Structure 1
Amino acid sequence: MLSYVVKRLLVTLAVVAVISVVAFSLVHLAGDPAVAMAGENASQQDVDSIRKVYGFDRPLTEQYVTWVGRVLHGDFGRSYYLRTPVQPVLAEYAPVTVRLGLMALAFTLLLSIPLGVLAALRPNTLIDRISLWLAVAGQALPSFVFAMLLIFVFAVTLRWLPVSGGSTWLHFVLPAVALGYNAAPAIMRLTRSGMIETLQSDHVRTARAYGLSRWRVVLRHALRHAIIPVVSLAAVQLGYMLGGSIVIETVFSLKGLGYLAWQSIQRSDIEVVQAILLVVAVVYALLTLLADLLNAVLDPRIRIS
């Protein structure tokens, strides 16, 4: 197990190194950051002054090494627009995105796993067709359109839930449903296919032959093996939710990292954009590592191989 953990950590470190290069390069590939920060009506003298102050006049490799060195010491730079260090800004906006992502993932798992299990137990029946319809609708319906429908039904018509802001947990219900519903179809289909395959395996037949109850066989023996690929997919989906919530946060006026990224891009706030790209990508890589380790615990064959 230790060798498996070390290998996965080395792979994750390599991925993080590549991510840092990409996060640094994307901002510079979009154009001259000094020109973007100075604005359209800025003089050449202003542009040159910004280029010198922020070190954009140095070679890119030197800028990258300096930036990585600062990041390793917890320094993400200073926001050009807000005139404050980036770290407090991220600390202010990140909890909203984390809370939204966790609630969205919880909704996704609570919806998709039971439906996937029921569809596998009753293939080609009404519950299986309903699950298939929900999966197709979830993939075909854009998240912002579904968000608008939720707002119209539950906030405008029924007045059950608030439509904007994030002061209470009720403000996160509609955004979590809108964000999580789009991820549910993949987990639902994977759970269904995994359960159908596992229910036909030898160890499940043996458990049935010993006279164990049906639900004990399903939950303890079949679902435990069928859930292994779902763990990896759930971690990937959580990373997607944390990094791709910009539309949902904008629709529901939630001040999270997605909303901050959208504002920072409009303001050409280079330091904040780089920090968000790096933090979200690193969290995504760490979630993938965590999923691999959990799979190794659930299935010893993974770490042995």
Structure 2
Amino acid sequence: MLAYVARRLLQTVLILLGISLVTFVLLYLVPADPARQIAGRSATAQTVENIRQQLGLNLPFYEQYLRYLTGLLHGDFGRSYLQKTEVAELIRSRLPASLLLMCGAIFCELLLGLTMGVVAALKRGSKTDNGLMIVSFVGVSAPQFVIGILLLYVFAVQLGWFPIGGYGTFKHLVLPSITLGFLGAGWYSRMMRSSLIDVLRQDYIRTARAKGLTRAKILFGHAIPNAILPIIAMIGIDIGLFMSGIVVVESVFGWPGIGQLAWQAIQRIDIPIIMGVTMISAFAIVLGNLLADLIAPWVDPRIKLR
């Protein structure tokens, strides 16, 4: 186990290094001048050049990248060009909201997706199965902002059960979590249905039935633990996606996460913030996949870590 974790951590370092290089290259090639944007349209050429020198934008690419890596090794993500604040501090201030929304969304997608998938598999070919798969298809296909606006209109405006937007209480968390979770629930329900149908055909399930085990023991003791393995891998990916890819939902509900921070930085070509959010999101994805790989043998002891 320790050797496996050490090897994966080494791979994580190499992956993050590659992501940082690719992202830095892309931002370096963007046909925009951050120094000009910071100085303003009325600034003189000398003023723009002075800003460029202060930020190190006049240095060759490899020197800029090495300076960034050196700072990164010391936990320094740089300083925002426009907000004049340390990127680490900006991310730290937004991270709790993003983590809270991520946990809420994963809980909702698992609760909805696994429930629909199990029921659909047990009722295979019935109207219930068809209805649940239609709901899953809608969840996968519908734009998130449409789902969010509909939920706001029904449960916040018409019924008044939840606040229209904001952050700070459990009620603020419910609607954005359901909005994000509804999309994942569509994927999870389809995956769980297919996986569970396949598991229920296996010989050991027939053996369990022949031994006289109850349907509940067969389902929860044998079938679901084996069928849920693909779901665990998907959760690892969702961790990173929910960390940074939820700009639309955050905008609809006024949620102060790092998704909005990243979008604002992209609009202003604020390179340090873009790099910081990208690295945090990449680390979250890699960490999520590692945790998924470590949890899988606990769910199914037949899986060996190598």
TM-score when scaled to structure 1?
0.94
Moved more, 9-18 or 253-262: 9-18
What residue in structure 1 maps to residue 23 of structure 2?
A: 23
Give the drift of 1:117.
0.8
Compute the displacement of 1:301 (Å).
4.6
Q: Structure 1 segments of 4 or more deviating over 4 A?
A: none
**Counterparts of 2:305 and 2:288 in 1: how far apart (Å)?**
22
For residues 165-217 of structure 1, what are the alpha-carbon distances to aligned partners after superposition, in whole Å with 9 as ceiling and x for unaligned?
A: 10212111111111111111111111111101111112212222221110111
1:109 aligns with 110
* Deviation of the 1:17 alpha carbon: 1.3
Q: Does structure 2 conserve the Cα–Cα contact (< 8 Å) formed by 1:204 and 1:222?
A: yes
Distance, in Å, in 2 between the alignment partners of 1:96 and 1:225 is 33
CA RMSD of aligned residues (A): 1.7
Residues 239, 284 of structure 1: 8 Å contact kept = yes
Aligned to 1:92, the other structure's residue is in SS state helix
Counterpart residue number, 1:12: 12
Give yes or no for contact 2:240–2:284 (8 Å, CA) kept in 1. Answer: yes
Quote the residue 1:207 is aligned against.
208
Measure, in 2, the Cα distance between the counterparts of 1:116 and 1:14: 37
- The 5 A counterparts of 1:1-305 are 1-31=1-31, 32-303=33-304
Contact 2:34 2:270 (C-alpha < 8 Å) held by counterparts: no
Could you tell me whether the CA contact under 8 Å between 2:225 and 2:300 is conserved in 1?
Answer: no
Q: CA deviation at 1:97?
A: 0.9
- Conserved in 2, the CA contact under 8 Å of 1:19 and 1:282? no
**Paired residues, number:** 305
**Identity of aligned pairs, percent?**
40
Structure 1: distance between partners of 2:285 and 2:133: 29
Instruction: Single out whichever of 255-264 and 34-43 deviates more from structure 2.
Output: 34-43
Task: Report the alpha carbon displacement of residue 64 of structure 1 after superposing the two structures with TM.
Answer: 0.9
1:46-71 CA distances to partner (integer Å, 9 max, x unpaired)? 22111111111111111111111111
Consecutive unaligned residues in structure 2, runs of 5 or more: none
Matched residue SS, 1:83: coil
Over residues 249-300 of structure 1, what are the superposed CA-to-partner deviations in whole Å (9 max), with x where a residue is unaligned? 1111111101111222333322122111111111111111211222244345
Contact 2:140 2:183 in 1 (8 A): yes
Name the SS of the counterpart of 2:160 in structure 1: coil
- Distance in 1, matches of 2:69 and 2:34, equals 18
